[in-house]
Structure 1
Amino acid sequence: MTEQLEDDFWAQERARDTAARGKQADPTACGTCRGRVAAGGQVKHDECAQRATLLPAPDAPGYELITGLSEEELAALPPRFHTPAFMESSSPKLWVCAVCWGDGWSTQWPCATAVKHGLRVFTPEHEAETAAKKQAVRLAELEPQVDRLDHLDRITLPELRREIEHHKDGKARWRKRAETAEARVTELEAELAKYVGHEPTIAEEMAYLSNSLDAVLALCHETKNSGALGVTPEAVEQAASGEWTATAPRPALPWAAAMDDHDLGMFLDDLASAALNRWRTDIDGPVPDRDTLAAIEQACQDWRTPGRGLRGDEPGTGEGR
């Protein structure tokens, strides 16, 4: 009795499945069958019934494309590509996704994409062909852009690169000039800091003028001894600014070296007289060395400074000798 009930149950299920199997018309079905299906009935002809197949979509990606994509990119492919494929050579044998695989790994079917989209995985063949045609049309539309991009890559981009390099070189040159200018400003500021707030005293100014005069006299003395035609203004300026250096040993007292023999003798007499104070004594004892030094400096100043009436080269003094 139980076996009879089970046979009746499965007979009913098979009949129900057979009845439902003919309620989907193939896109190529005749008009009669399409009309019967639209009215809720079954197809009249078996060849007009739509049948499920495990054939890959006409536009399914090939081996090269699949191996070039990451796992995330493969999962994002259209649902119609995630069909089952039977791995007969594997152990154990199993169904895997046709696109969710890579080097050393595979995904058992149904993959996550197939589970997510369900029936959309088994796309009717005519829809896959339509998608392939749309892709072909889109590729035809993109073909001119590919040519344009190729032109940009071969001609325009190299010119842009050259212009960029040119601007980089110009920027580097201006940066170098700016750095040089900043260094010069820093140098001038340091030079200015030497003088601002550090004005020379009268004694320092007189010492500078004295050194400049000594340098000019030394230049004249060297010119005279070397038999040169004359002293140029440039040489005098260099001597006064300290830029000129005598080729011959510079006299310690160039103004004395420039005297004639008579004046030089008179100067040396005064200098010797002042130096004798070193061995003189007075009521308080020996003359202090600093007094002797002051007397020597006074003698040098009297003979060096014009207008004291001592040197024979002064106006009105040479005739009396």
Structure 2
Amino acid sequence: MNYVRTGMLLAAMTALFMGIGFMIGGQTGMLIALLIAGGMNIFSYWNSDRMVLAMHHAQEVDERQAPELYGMVRTMAARAELPMPKVYVINNPQPNAFATGRNPENAAVAATTGLLNSLTKEEVAGVMAHELAHVKNRDTLIMTITATIAGAISMLANFAFFFGGNRNNPLGLIGSILMMFLAPMAAALVQMAISRTREYAADRMGAQICGNPLWLASALHKIAGGAARVVNEDAEHNPATAHMFIINPLSGQNMDNLFSTHPNTDNRIAALREMASEGGFSEMRSSGDGHFGVRETSNAQPQRDARRPSGPWGSAGNTGQRRGGEQSGRDEPRKPKGPWG
């Protein structure tokens, strides 16, 4: 049903886009609008991942630079039957993460230093599993397309003001003014509805990938609190990327309403806890050396608080860093040390 709902929403956005083009210039205007959208989508398809990562100053890391994080992603990618994505770290104190890429073969996952420093190893695993679920579901491509069409609708709506006398617009100038304000709003609502639908689906699949829904539930609770306290300057400067993050990174966006890019966090946590109560998961287990294995379980009811991480999320040779477990109980993420800057 999530895929059906997403398809219907994409169809609604496409219809809105084509309708605006028709009102501006009839069939010719509709064709021009289609060509513009096609060009924008082609450009976004090939370049959106690099653009988003550059906007947030993400740095690619390898197994030598971030052995625990890289090994964790590799293990879960194998469990999800996905190619190994590129792994990025963003030097930002706000706990958050996102995935990008046009397909699983060209995917990337990114986590902030705030997330790596303030969450336990199990909670980070839940977050990375959620992002890999977006990759497996090809949500990154879906959201790129919707963001591009939404931007094109806003552009066309502004053009409509200068073509208010077109005979295809029964309301003339007044109709064009209304279109200029209402069309972008309608497009944004559809875009947000698609984003909320895909988040619920990624939560469910992410819980299956990591094997314990409570890890992700606990992570969402911490990330939501941290995002509300810590300003993400890059996200504030690029609000169009907010829907990509696991939790809305923008300040002043804690309410759950029609204009929210993400579903209510409490609702997501409740759904994950219900999944945990159903059981039947194959849980990842820390082997004590910074890597995860798999433990077969009949249910997913571990202790309420996940174990604290056994080491820093950085180079194994950097003994000057404090252990991540000493930070996970703090309310405010500490300024990151070590290889992240």
Q: Same fold (TM over 0.5)?
A: no
- Greater relative contact order structure (CA < 8 Å, 6+ sep): 2
Normalized against structure 1, the TM-score is what?
0.18
